[in-house]
Amino acid sequence: MTWNISDKELAGLVGEMSLEEKVALTSGFGLWRTAANYRLNIPEILMTDGTYGVRYSIEQIDGPQDSESQLASFLTVVNADLSRGVEGAFGSTRPATCFPNGSSFACSWDVDLAHELGEALAAECQAFGVNILLGPGINIRRTPLAGRAYEYYSEDPVVTGDIAAAVINGLQENGVGASLKHFACNNSEVQRTTMSSEVEERALREIYLAGFERAIRKSNPWTVMSSYNRLNGVQAAENHWLLTEVLRDDWGYEGLVMSDWHGIKDRPASLNAGNDLDMPESGARKQELLEAVEAGRVPQDVLDASCLRVLKLVRTARAGIKPNATVDHRKHHELAQRMAAESIVLLKNEGPLLPLDGGRLGRIAVVGAAAKEPVIQGSGCATTRPTEVDIPFEEIRRLAPGAALTFHAVADFQAGSAAEATALADVDAADIVLFFGNTEVGYDGEGSDRTHLELHDGQDDLIARLASRNSKIAVILATPDAVAMPWLAGTPAVLAAFFGGQGAGHALAEILFGRTTPS
């Protein structure tokens, strides 16, 4: 399992390698592994996605490793349609705990809880045989429209850096490496591999890079991942100022820099800039690097330095392996519930309308599909197949067993529909209306930015309409980031869960009925 080898022996291995072997070592093998070298007895390590849960794809990790199959599988993930469900979008993935997403969890401001998250993620990685978890993602949430804002912690670099450092320490103290990403200024999904983030150096240093610097100084992640975008006109994966002058020279970072998946356009330029590991495997990029070294465009000592960093990472990761590791998924689900409860934000509570007294409520009207089909996470490479999911409607029933509960989807209130009269009558007669609102599912993730700040499918208009009929209404929001709330003045209570993970349904009910105080 382990690979006990000294620094001197590692340097000796680099000296023994052929140019082809060095190029292979600094490139991935398939989608998720480093390249083993059987001639020199160099083992591989396995990595996978997950900023808030471990996404272990059976087809991608255990299936064919030829480059054509792997590229097709990668594109399937990037272009996934989460509205078809996790299985439909991602194929067969092993169940793992889906913890609250970054934009939700950072609302807890709880670094000790972040450390527990890292410990739990490490335990699930160990059980799957995963050595590196590709996260946390900590880009500054510059705009709520950003497609991957749900993965990221905050618009504030101090909160971002401290939460990230705690997660990383929890992971790495338990033998699993982190990959701090996406370095840097990956704030848009539209044209994400070609767009340029134009940022003056002072803003870079004080805002966009500060969270990375803080996390690196407090946790020393084993790897840092370069981002897809250009930064001030230069591809981040090929940006010498960013990857060498800032990261290594200014901050003293000695770990490995890897690319985002197919994020390198010019492999020789990326290696010269300080990008050690090209992920995933690309025959064309390997050939490009080989020819560049032979032609003298990439110095041999630069390639050797990257080889040594890869070998040191492999040694560290292999030393962290815990054979026959197991996971207590029930315990992790309880952690997910606790994290959600600490992260849900009470935005408004006039009256106060909340907390509810389950023993005194006669009729509860629950509106919105998310009450029965909870929106717990965003879409993209971070998406996790949950081990179980708490259903808000059932959790409400648990805490108000004597109340008459009704449920209506948004479509039930369509003017002139057969269901409209019944739905409105239930709302009118209710002691409390609980409206579960959400943004468009599947358009809040990788590869696409949100195009507006409204709730999905006419929900904003419906909230205002229902609030005008029954003033005792609480709105519960499942969103990737901020949303417009044109109905706020007429709505006495609002809870923001963001994407609260698989335990959010339980946590919401506990907060609504006063079992837990929102933090």
Active-site residue list? 260
Give dist(CA 105, CA 150) in Å, integer: 10
Q: What letter does residue 15 receive in the DSSP assignment?
A: H
Q: Decide if 195 contacts 229 (C-beta within 8 A).
A: yes
Give dist(CA 326, CA 386) in Å, integer: 17
Burial class (CB in 10 A: 0-12, 13-18, 19+), 229: buried
- The label of the residue with tokens 């194929």 reads 91
Interhelix angle 459-469/420-429, nearest 10 degrees: 50
Burial class (CB in 10 A: 0-12, 13-18, 19+), 409: middle
Give dist(CA 335, CA 392) in Å, integer: 17
Give dist(CA 84, CA 81) in Å, integer: 6
Q: Decide if 386 contacts 95 (C-beta within 8 A).
A: yes
H or E segment and range at residue 12: helix 7-16
Here the tokens at position 303 are: 């390639």
Q: Where are the beta strands (DSSP E) in 111-251?
A: 132-134, 177-183, 196-197, 223-226, 230-231, 234-235
Q: Decide if 266 contacts 226 (C-beta within 8 A).
A: no
Using CA atoms, how far residue 295 sits from 24, 265, 279, 292, 364, in Å, is 18, 19, 23, 5, 74
Strand partners, 364: 405, 432
Q: Which of 155, 117, 158, 113 is nearest to 136 (CA)?
A: 117
- Cα angle: 391, vertex 459, 420; to 5 degrees: 90
Strand partners, 176: none
Give dist(CA 103, CA 411) in Å, integer: 29
Q: Decide if 258 contacts 25 (C-beta within 8 A).
A: no
Give dist(CA 392, CA 506) in Å, integer: 6
Cβ count within 10 A of residue 193: 14
- The label of the residue with tokens 């490793």 reads 65
Give dist(CA 367, CA 432) in Å, integer: 11
H or E segment and range at residue 165: helix 157-172
